[in-house]
Structure 1
């Protein structure tokens, strides 16, 4: 039942992340073009738009799923036991994803600004460096719920780290453009 619940929750998570990926694929060339042409103001304006759209879209959809997990689960199954399991676990699983829009915006801005190594590091941080150890450790204290909490904790921690790295690096990148 927990594996089936995880499949539903991963599918629900994709409902948020796939449109964000599509939006990122659209803005990356625009930011890259303006970065290459030294248009700092347009790069900054693009980032403001990107962070607003990605953060807002992500937050609204994730909050909807956290507030109405039974409705989300019923889109995938009619099994009452499975719906009840998803109702119990989805809020924990998605809690850290509420701020994931920040990570997606900043991580894709790194790609657009020629900083792909930082972007790869953030991806590895979220799914390998944080998630795997947390998925192994948290169940010791939280039982099965620890596996689901590992996703939320790694999402939130990676989003905070990525945003902080971006806040630190973005001004440096813009100063380098001015030269």
Structure 2
């Protein structure tokens, strides 16, 4: 009972205060002036290069949505190139060798380069995401829709991983410069 009373009395504020005391700073937190923080401003300065095939288009769209902010007029200073593949494999195979479930594995290797004449490599990384979907007998249109939805989910999750990795990199780099 005491714990509930403590939580109602403002434990949330105490936790935030304690985290701030140990040096915790949210990556996406706005500055005191209301503008985006260092990591978000750096993410907005990234140009995502074209990624081949339909899964690549989905990933590029997801990355652009995460990087683009509401502050206009920001100059692009970085180019992000991504090598992206989404192989599929049957994971539920019947005795007649027909597959009833497909696993998609999104594999992304990315390189962030400066837009300087030397195209300096700033950082590299990778992301790996898995998702599955069912294949329903005699429902080919439904299977195509499931495949498209699963590929979209894989692209969204891959974009989340890349965005978090880049935001953490920019935040760390800003802290090291202080």
TM-score higher than 0.5: no
Write 1 or 2 for the structure with the bigger share of helix.
1
Relative contact order, higher structure (CA 8 A, sep 6+): 1
Structure of higher CA gyration radius: 2
TM-score under structure 1 normalisation?
A: 0.34
TM-score under structure 2 normalisation?
A: 0.34
Write 1 or 2 for the structure with the bigger share of strand.
2
